[in-house]
Amino acid sequence: MHDALLDIIGFMSRPEPDVALMSEMAMPLERALLPLLVRIDRRGPIGVVELAEVVGRDYTTVSRQVARLDELGLVVRRPGTRDKRVREAEVTEAGREMADAIDRMREQLVGELMAEWSSAERRDLARLLKRMAADMNEWVVRRRHEDAE
C-alpha cells in the first residue's frame, strides 16, 4: 500500500498535470502557487504558518508565495480572526473562480484516468480515501495535542 500511495503522491506532485491544466485554462499562475490557492480556498481564512504545515513547505517560502497570490488579486491577507498578530489569507472572488476552474480540470483528469472504472469502484475509492484522509487529520491533531502537553 505504501508504494501505491507514493506513486499517487508522485503523480500528483509531477509538473505535467498542472502544466497541462494551466495551459488549457490559459492560467497566468506559477505552478507552485496552484496548491496554495486551492488549499486557501478549502481551508481559508488560514494563517501562513498553518498553510506551510499543510503543504509541507517552509514558512518563509509560503509567505512569499501568498504575497504573490495577493499581488495577483487571488487572495487577500488580513489580521487573524482569533489572533490579530497572525496574518490570514482568504481567497477573493477571482481566486475562488480560479480554484473552481482548477477543481473542474482536475476532476476531468481523474475522470480520464478512471474511465475504465465502474461507478461502484469510483464510489468505493472515494469513500476509502475520505476515511483515510480523516484518519490522517485526526492523527495530526492528536500529535499536536500530545506535543502541547
Q: Up-side HSE of residue 17: CA atoms within 13 Å toward CB? A: 19
Query: Do 79 and 144 fall within a single domain?
Result: no
Highest-scoring range by mean pLDDT, 46-55, 69-78, 101-110, 140-149: 69-78
Residue 7 is assigned to a structural domain of this protein:
no
Residues 46 and 101 in one domain: yes
Query: In the sheet that 46-47 helps form, which strands lie side by side, from edge to edge?
Result: 46-47, 87-91, 75-79
Residues 64 and 92 in one domain: yes
Calpha distance 79→77 (Å, rounded)? 7
What are 7's three cell numbers? Answer: 506513486
CATH number at residue 100: 1.10.10.10
Distance CA 61, CA 80 (A): 20
- pLDDT: is 20 or 61 the higher one? 61
Q: How many domains does the chain have?
A: 2
- pTM of the predicted protein model: 0.79
Any domain includes 140: yes
CA distances from 72 to 27, 30, 76, 138 (A): 12, 11, 10, 34
Domain co-membership, 85 together with 149: no
Same domain, 111 and 123: no
Residue 97, C-alpha cell as written in the block: 473562480
- Residues 64-121 pLDDT 10s: 999 999 999 999 999 888 888 888 999 999 999 989 988 888 888 889 999 999 999 9
Domain span at 82: 13-116
Q: Is residue 88 located within the same domain as residue 55?
A: yes
Count of CB atoms within 10 A of residue 77's CB?
Answer: 16
